[in-house]
Structure 1
Amino acid sequence: MSQDTPYIYDVTVNTFDQQVIEKSFQQPVLVDFWAEWCAPCKVLMPLLAQITESYQGNLALAKVNCDIEQEIVGRFGIRSLPTVVLFKDGQPVDGFAGAQPESEIRKLLEAHVQMPAPRAADPLQLAQELFAESRFAEAEAQLKVLLSEDNGNARGLILYARCLAERGELGEARTVLDAVKSDDAHKAELAGAKAQLTFLAQAAQLPDGAELKSRLAQNPQDDQAAYQLAIQQLARQQYEAALDGLLKLFIRNRSYDEGLPHKTLLQVFDLLGNDHPLVTTYRRKLFAALY
């Protein structure tokens, strides 16, 4: 059955008073009366364990094996299994018989057990999630909170610079990145952020994507249009399309502009990070094209 933890445990006739009655003065205790032969018991117990763990110490779950602990069964007049009883301040205060859905069990507990206070979100993690969803202003707000408390946080500064860059504040973003101390721990992230600034600055000086696509439709061998379209796509975070275009250009003309497609591919790898699935895929494709 379910694994014991500090808040989930078996009780016997010798430990029931201490682990249920006395303990219920400190925190509510759910008592699960079960038996090995009872199929609904085996469905219910993992659910009770999951619910108990969600209370992070504000609730305990005591398990009574009714095949063995007949004295406890008789003491509380248990007639059907599974039966679950909630003890609080030394007394049974609520309960149910038979398997129940999670929503009903939680509804029963709401009146008696306090849910733990939610943990404060990590501003950096939240900012990263917001940035990934292109919610740059909200990410920036989270980073300002973080940097007001730790203005030397390298990862926070790098992401803050990327938010500024997405808003078109390229000069300010570069100033922030120049203030980041480059060390091995943040080398790739810093290189990636600088690459993003480069792509955004370049894209601002290039024809728009529609014009470049039109040129390529007329002449698929237009290497300049292919490269410039990839830069426009990178500036708009269309990474897969950009990587695909750069790789095809590299395969078709690897010496274009002194090997610029290859150099740009490596910059994009820095920008996305080694764990990104696109980087894994396109590193492999680039390797195959090189060798």
Structure 2
Amino acid sequence: MTRPGPQSASPAGRAGSFPSSLAGAVDLSALKERATQPPAQAAPPPQGGPGGPAPQTGRSAVVDVTEQSFETDVLERSNRVLVVVDLWATWCEPCKQLSPVLEKLASEAGGKWVLAKVDVDQNPRIAQAFGVQSIPTVVAIAAGQPLHAFAGVQSEAQIRQWLDELLGAVEGKLPGEPVDDGQEPVEPPRDPRIVAAEDALQDGDFAAAEEAYARILNDEPKNAEAKAGVNHARFLSRVQSLTPDVVATADANPSDVDAQLAAADFEVVSRQQDRAFARLIDVVKTTAGDDRARARERLLSLLELFDPADPLVLSARRNLAAALY
């Protein structure tokens, strides 16, 4: 997303002139599937707003939202209460004026509405889904649909009026947040087989972890968690003894398929997955038979470690298809 200067965030004017209903104008369906974090590249934690990280309690009035939590913290929550999304960035000076006002009003609202803060630099797909042209941009969502929005800095009085109009429009249509009875929410019991496999993974016993996940798959061939676990365990087992010289070895021996596979694994560990994907696609292009099949299978296994919507993954899949056909 191009960083607009402060002057490009045009105010919407007085509260009564905010845009009319946005329902149906913004497609949020692409954000409804939570991205799976790749094991070798943990996503950075949310940075918080200009005034620091937002509180992260279970039903806080102000929450930091990521692409992974958008479905739960915004779409699902908007079925219970009005959610106001604040799209901001650390470099945006107008955001530093607007965000504290929104946070203050959300904290004073007593749960009537929720402020969801989105750092557009950390979460570009959310900004793209809303079609954001400049920041700050603020979007109100109810029942999973955008209602109204404005861009630029507004006064506290204008925002209060805007919120009053929105709350009046959704009154009686949303059930509200569940009552907090002071008890911690009860987590649903986890599959003890998965827990045991994860424990083995954490202990570094990758062979035991793979075996545990494989047993689950034997009983439940469609168990996605076990399938991902097997792939993860195999990857970690392969890379634990790799050293940086595997890349130099592969570069010096382009026809050595084993060297190319090892180098691709190491590049993923080094967070150079674009190089790893390109390397294996080159092997697919230049080999045949078993060697080609091995390179294809290794590439597919590495792609499974990442978010399927990651642009690098999508590009690699397209390039693999072109190389094969």
Q: TM-score, normalised by structure 1?
A: 0.44
State the structure with more CA Rg.
Answer: 1
Higher helix share: 1
